Amino acid sequence: MNNNSIKSIIDLSSDLRWKIGDDFYDGLAEGIYADASKIASRSVSTENQNKRFGIDSKIDKIVTSKTWGFPIMFLILGVILWLTIIGANYPSAMLSQLLLDTIHPFLKGLATSISMPWWLDGFLIDGVYLAAAWVIAVMLPPMAIFFPLFTLLEDFGYLPRVAFNLDYLFKKSGAHGKQALTMSMGFGCNAAGVVATRIIDSPRERLIAIITNNFSLCNGRWPTQILIATIFIGAVVPSSFSGLASLSAVIGIAVLGLFFMFFTSWALSKTVLKGEVSTFNLELPPYRPPRFWKTIYTSLIDRTMIVLWRAILFAAPAGAVIWLISNIYIGNESIASWTINSLDSFGFLLGLNGIILLAYIVAIPANEIVIPTILMLTVLTNGIVGGQGAGVMFELDSANAMGDILRAGGWTLLTAINLMLFSLLHNPCSTTIYTIYKETKSVKWTTVASILPVIMGFVITFLVAQVWRLF
């Protein structure tokens, strides 16, 4: 056995290939299909030749029609989002009643009764448990509603039609029509949205979809938007319009997110991603009646639980960190207040403050705990009466009461607007970052996807703050 003979085989193939020329692949593909065609014709008999099946084509004519295509699509997406946001309120309230208002005090009581040292009790119960409980209460209900609904549509076969309808728009910004779906999925959870980009088989467009998924406001961020809009935006208009005003502000932010998504997609496809291979094809599969219970079950197990589990894994340590930084003192100052002071001037430049920036740093694992962390830190650093002690996150039942605390902490309308903007434009949560890494297997693209939005957030909030202060 010698390697010369291998080399001669490879050289022979090189030579033969050169003689065949450029049509090798075409010839091969045509040859295989010719065989396929012959074999199929011998064993298949059918009455309706090459026609798509009746009912399918009727549904398709409607859902992709010029008149009905878009209204049907927006109606369905609207209904799903509405069901998710409104429907999740009740179980969310129940869960938070149970986990935060019942079990948490119970655990505290238990800890006291077995005379657990205060630091262990604080670290475990106020830190780890509270963060995990918070994430479950906020995240589980909307995801348990959103994902099964979305999965039902997916199994039915409607989603490829959405991609078909919207492709023209996405193509303009260098993206793939299927990005419409990964974006919608991102409204539920960015990590799930990133996983969903697997359906995009073109490398460039898939990376675009992954990097820009963060511009879809996810479940963890909707509550922040709604709360801040209610407290601050609703307050500047007459009370009869306050609901409308805060609602439009939230929708405005979501639409702004879409705008950034299109803009960033376009910019990426023209610059760093222009060398990635780009192809397009979209199969419109036949409609298949989904098997309702099985779909619900698998989507709960596959999407909701996995995402929730990952979120808890990341949130629990974050809770611990939050408790630790508020309770470990260096000299006279806790780590938290020291960090807040050093971040304050940068925060001021962005029209935010040190507390918000710190909250976003410690809440990288889970956006759900941003508001409770901000409230806790505001009470702590400003010595306001209220709250539950150092490192214990909390929320109040009434938006007004929370507004009072924040205003006492020096918040203005500018702070609120910039917080809403920053909540849209900042790094993805650590679950999403981890997922991006797993999907792309590339440190480079994970870094781009993590850093890019936060830089945009800095620039936008900075500009807004300066212009605001000029006038």
Q: Does 94 bind another protein (CB under 8 A)?
A: no
Q: Is 293 in the site for another protein (CB under 8 A)?
A: no
Residue with tokens 């303009």: 172
What are 330's strand-pairing partners?
333
Q: By CB under 8 A, which span of 233-241, 308-316, 341-349, 376-384 interacts with another protein?
A: 341-349
Within 8 A by CB and 6+ apart from 130, the residues are 100, 104, 319, 392, 393
Task: Using alpha carbons, select from 136, 59, 61, 127 the residue that is nearest to residue 95.
Answer: 136
What six digits make up the tokens of 120?
Answer: 């262990």
Q: Does 469 bind another protein (CB under 8 A)?
A: yes
Residues in 205-244 that interact with another protein by CB under 8 A: none
Bridge partners (DSSP) listed for residue 329:
334
Q: Can you tell me which of 110, 236, 259, 288 binds another protein, judged by CB under 8 A?
A: 288
Assess 157 for contact with another protein (CB under 8 A): yes
The one among 155, 235, 261, 423 contacting another protein by CB under 8 A:
155
Site for another protein in 400-429 (CB under 8 A): none
Q: Which of 83, 242, 245, 276 binds another protein (CB under 8 A)?
A: 276
Binding positions for another protein, 30-69, rule CB under 8 A:
30-48, 50-53, 57, 60-61, 64-66, 69
Q: Is 144 in the site for another protein (CB under 8 A)?
A: no
| Nearest to another protein of 89, 442 (CB atom) | 442
Which one of 105-113, 131-139, 169-177, 449-457 is the stretch in contact with another protein (CB under 8 A)?
A: 169-177
What are the structure tokens assigned to 311, written together?
């979120």
Task: Rounding to the nearest 10 degrees, give the CA dihedral for residues 196, 366, 418, 347.
Answer: -130
Cα torsion 312, 455, 217, 303 to 10°: value is: -40
Nearer to another protein, 16 or 94 (CB): 16
Of positions 341, 382, 412, 466, contacts another protein by CB under 8 A? 466
User: Kind of pairing, strands 333-334 and 329-330?
Assistant: antiparallel
Q: How far does the chain reach from its first CA to its final CA, in angstroms?
A: 84
Cα–Cα distance for residue pair 12/18, rounded to 1 Å: 10
Q: Which of residues 297-326 bind another protein (CB under 8 A)?
A: 297-299, 301-303
Which of residues 84, 92, 96, 151 is near another protein by CB under 8 A?
Answer: 151
Helix (H) or strand (E) run with residue 183 in it? helix 179-188
Cβ nearer to another protein, comparing 272 with 401: 272
Cβ atoms 173, 76 nearer than 8 A = no
For residue 381, the minimal CB distance to another protein (Å) is 18
**How far are the Cα atoms of 40, 355, 358, 417 from residue 352, in angstroms, in the given order?**
67, 8, 11, 9
Residue 24 touches another protein, criterion: CB under 8 A: yes
Of the candidates 254, 282, 335, 361, which one interacts with another protein according to CB under 8 A?
282
